[in-house]
Amino acid sequence: MDLVKVKNLSRSFDVSKPWLNRVIERQPKLFLKAVSEVDFDIAERSTYALVGESGSGKSTIGRMLVGLLTPSGGNVEIEGVDLAHETDAAKVSAVRADIQMIFQDPYASLNPRWRVRDIIVEPVLARGGETKGLAERLLEQVGLSAEDAGKFPHEFSGGQRQRICIARALSSEPRLIVCDEPTSALDVSVQAQVLNLMSDLKDSFGLTYLLISHDLTVVQHMADRIGVLYLGRLVEEADPDTLFSDPKHPYTQMLLEAAPRLDAFGREVVPPEGEIPNPIEPPKGCAFHPRCPFAVDRCRTERPDLRQIGTSRAACHLAE
């Protein structure tokens, strides 16, 4: 059963200069396509991971899923309800209560003037729920102590703050949690604690995660299914074992090759060519072709569709 269905999802941002400049300089409006025509489903009680470099649109997709941004094309269905187009407010509200989000920076996502108790129960309070003893119970579940409820965020370390963010996300008993780089701001030893906690909570609460990360090792460890994004498009989707042992798309291959490895002492890598192109004017055809070592003429003119190859899906003319 799929909890989330993302169909043909697109989002563009208007990055034009102000009206007067456009008139004087005779420039057209400019749009940045952050996400274009992305399709994927997330099965209930699984972890779906989106990986990609900066500017690949992974956070934009996460924000559209929770409703912080509206899609400019396509739709997101959660529990069968399309949040952007559903007109029945009661339905939308019911689905909204099932979605929560954890952000990257635990320093910026907690209100410094609120006590931890108030922070944690806010999602419940906002819907008029019963909050007695809730914060204390959740704090113990995420590995802090009940006495911490009366403290302020500044009294905690980065890892502990991320635990508070997780407790807040859990308070409204969600089914889906969107985790946007949940451990990127944390040290390695603390990252292991938070990842283990997330796995435990997933089992005990029956959660579904959308995990957004640039760190391939974290993704490999956590995910049941991985989508690789490049310049706003899904270029490959596979389960972790297949993706890491047999990547189909040249971009995935490049990413895996470039990622630093702990067991590769003094490894001589031929570093990848080039950088992510300007998303305002993406290359024609396959967006990866200027950096692709296998590019042929067809790649320069015709954009490959995402096709099924074995258990994976890849958007490459040459993949097999």
Partner 1 sequence: MTEPVLSIRDLSVEIPTRKGVVCPVDGVSYDIQPGEILGVVGESGAGKSMAGNAVIGLLNPPARIAKGEIWLNGTRIDQLSGDAMRRLRGKEIGMVFQDPLTSLNPLLQIGDQLTETMLTHLDISRSEAEQRAIAALQEVGIPGAADRLNSYPHEFSGGMRQRVVIALALCAEPSLVIADEPTTALDVSVQAQIVALLKKLCRERGTAIMLITHDMGVIAEAADRVAVMYAGRLAELGPVREILTSPSHPYTDGLMASTPLASRGKSRLHQIPGSMPRLNALPDGCAFHPRCPYVADKCRHDPGPQGVEGRAACWFPIVRERTA
- Percent helix, strand, coil in the chain, to 5, is 35, 20, 45
Which of 199, 202, 205, 307 touches partner 1 by CB under 8 A? Answer: 199
- Among 190, 295, 309, 318, the residue binding partner 1 under the rule CB under 8 A is 190
- Contact between 187 and partner 1 (CB under 8 A)? yes
Q: CA-CA distance, 127 to 265, in Å (whole number)?
A: 54
C-beta neighbour count of 142 within 10 angstroms = 22
Q: Of the ranges 22-30, 173-181, 216-224, 282-290, which one interacts with partner 1 (CB under 8 A)?
A: 216-224
By the rule CB under 8 A, 145 interacts with partner 1: no
State the Cα–Cα distance between residues 173 and 312, nearest whole angstrom: 32
Pair 42, 208: CB distance under 8 Å: yes
The string of DSSP codes covering 221-282 is: HH-SEEEEEETTEEEEEE-HHHHHHS--SHHHHHHHHHS--TT-TT----PPPS-PPPTTSP
**Is residue 220 a contact point for partner 1 (CB under 8 A)?**
yes
- DSSP state letter for 185: T
Residue 254 lies near partner 1 (rule: CB under 8 A): yes
Cα(150)–Cα(14) distance, rounded to whole angstroms?
A: 44
Q: Is 276 in the site for partner 1 (CB under 8 A)?
A: yes
Q: In this chain, which of 267, 281, 297, 320 binds partner 1, going by CB under 8 A?
A: 267
Question: Using the rule CB under 8 A, is 264 a contact of partner 1?
Answer: yes
Per CB under 8 A, does 46 bind partner 1?
no
232 touching partner 1, by CB under 8 A: no
Instruction: Name the pairing type of β-strands 31-43 and 176-180.
Output: unpaired
Is 261 a binder of partner 1 (CB under 8 A)? yes
Q: Is 15 in the site for partner 1 (CB under 8 A)?
A: no
Give the interface size with partner 1 as a residue count (CB under 8 A): 42
Tell which one of 66, 110, 164, 255 touches partner 1 (CB under 8 A): 255
Instruction: Classify 42 as helix, strand or coil.
Output: strand
**Contact with partner 1 (CB under 8 A): which of 262, 281, 297, 308?**
262
Query: Facing residues of 308 across strands?
Result: 313
The site string for partner 1 over 98-137 (x = CB under 8 A, - otherwise) reads ----------------------------------------
Determine, following the binding rule CB under 8 A, whether residue 196 of this chain makes contact with partner 1.
yes
Token output for 154:
């500044």
Dist CA 305 CA 249 (whole Å) = 12
Closer of 54 and 145 to partner 1 (Cβ) = 54
Give 246's contacts (C-beta < 8 A, 6+ positions apart). 312
**Residue 217 sits in the site that holds partner 1 (CB under 8 A):** yes
Interacting residue with partner 1 among 173, 275, 302, 305 (CB under 8 A): 275
The residue among 81 and 190 lying less far from partner 1, judged by its C-beta, is 190
Look up residue 133 and give its DSSP letter.
T
Return the residue of 81, 84, 97, 192 that touches partner 1, per CB under 8 A: 192
Footprint on this chain of partner 1 (rule: CB under 8 A) = 53-54, 157-160, 187-193, 195-196, 199, 214, 216-218, 220-221, 244, 254-255, 257-267, 269-272, 275-276
